[in-house]
Amino acid sequence: MRFCLNIGMKEAIYKKTYQVSINSVNINKKLGLYGILGYLQDIATVHAEEMGFGLEDMIRDQSFWVLVRQKLRMTRFPGWNEKLEIQTWSREPQGMYAFRDFEIFQDGEKIGDCSTVWMILDGKTRKVKKPDFPLERINPRTDYQLDYIAHKVEPRENFEKVNTIVVRNSDLDLNMHVNNTKYSQWILDSIPIELHKTAKLNEFEINFMAETHLGDDIDIYRARNEEGELNHDIVYKGVRHSDGKTCFLAKILAN
C-alpha cells in the first residue's frame, strides 16, 4: 500500500507500508540493518520514478544518481511479519548536492529516521553535474525536515584489518555498480557473531568515497573508540587492495 500526502505542493511526502519478510530479518528475528536499508532504497527509487528522476529518466539524460552519505538512527527494529511505514521527501538542493529524508513508523510511533546526500554523475565523463532541476519539479518539503544531515565520518588512527571481501556478481545492481546496501552487508560480515546476538544497533552512517568493481578485493578495517559511552562505537573502512584507495568509511553505534 502506498499513498502521498500533499503539503503545499503535489506529492511532497511519499509513504509506503512494508511487512517484514523472512528474507529481511536477522538471527534475532528482527528486521536487520541490511533489510531496513533495502526498504529505504526501495521507497526512494519508487518516489524518484514518480517525480521524474528515476532510472529511465536519468538514462535519457545520460546521467545517474550516486549516494554520497547516509545516516540512519533507530530506537527499535520491528520483528518478523510486523509492519512498518516509511515516509520520505526531498529537501531543497544545495550546490552540487541533493538531499532525501526518511522517517520510519510502527503503529503510529516513530522508531527511526534517515538522512541521505546524493550527487548526479555524467554517465560518460563520470563528472559531477549540478541538480539544477526546477524547484517545483523537485518539490521539497517545506513544513518540516530532520534535525540533522548526514555528514562526513571522521577517520581514526587505530585501524586493524578484520576481513577481506571479494566483490561478486551478486553485489552488483542493475547499473552494474555495487549496490549501496551491499557495503553494510560487508560490514555485518566483518562483525563477530557474538555481537550480532547481543548488541542493539542505534546508529549507522556511511560515506561512499570511491566506486568498487567486480573482482575487487576490499580489505575491511575496524577502529574502536574505547572511551565511548556506548559499548560499541566503531568506525569501519573499506580499502581496495590493488591501489590502497579508501572506498568507504562507516560508523556504528550500538549497545
pLDDT tier, 235 (very low <50, low <70, confident <90, very high otherwise): very high
Same-fold call for 2-138 versus 160-254: yes
**CATH of the domain spanning 2-138:** 3.10.129.10
pLDDT value at residue 7: 37
Domains of the chain, residue spans: 2-138, 160-254
pTM metric for this prediction = 0.91
B/e letters for 124-138, b = 16+ CB within 10 Å, e = fewer, are eeeebbebeeeeeeb
How far apart CA 124 and CA 18 sit, in angstroms, is 36
| All cell numbers assigned to 8 | 503545499
CATH topology of domain 160-254: Thiol Ester Dehydrase; Chain A (3.10.129)
- Residue type for position 96: M
Q: Coil, strand or helix: which one is 13?
A: strand
| All cell numbers assigned to 95 | 550546490
Q: 159-191: per-residue pLDDT in tens?
A: 999 999 999 999 998 778 899 999 999 999 999
Q: At what angle do helices 180-188 and 33-51 cross, to 10 degrees?
A: 180
Residue 94: Cβ within 10 Å count: 11
Q: 135-156: per-residue pLDDT in tens?
A: 888 899 999 999 999 999 999 9
Main-chain phi, psi angles of 53, to 5 degrees: -120, 20
| HEC profile of 218-247 | EEEEEEECCCCCCCEEEEEEEEECCCCCEE
pLDDT tier, 63 (very low <50, low <70, confident <90, very high otherwise): confident
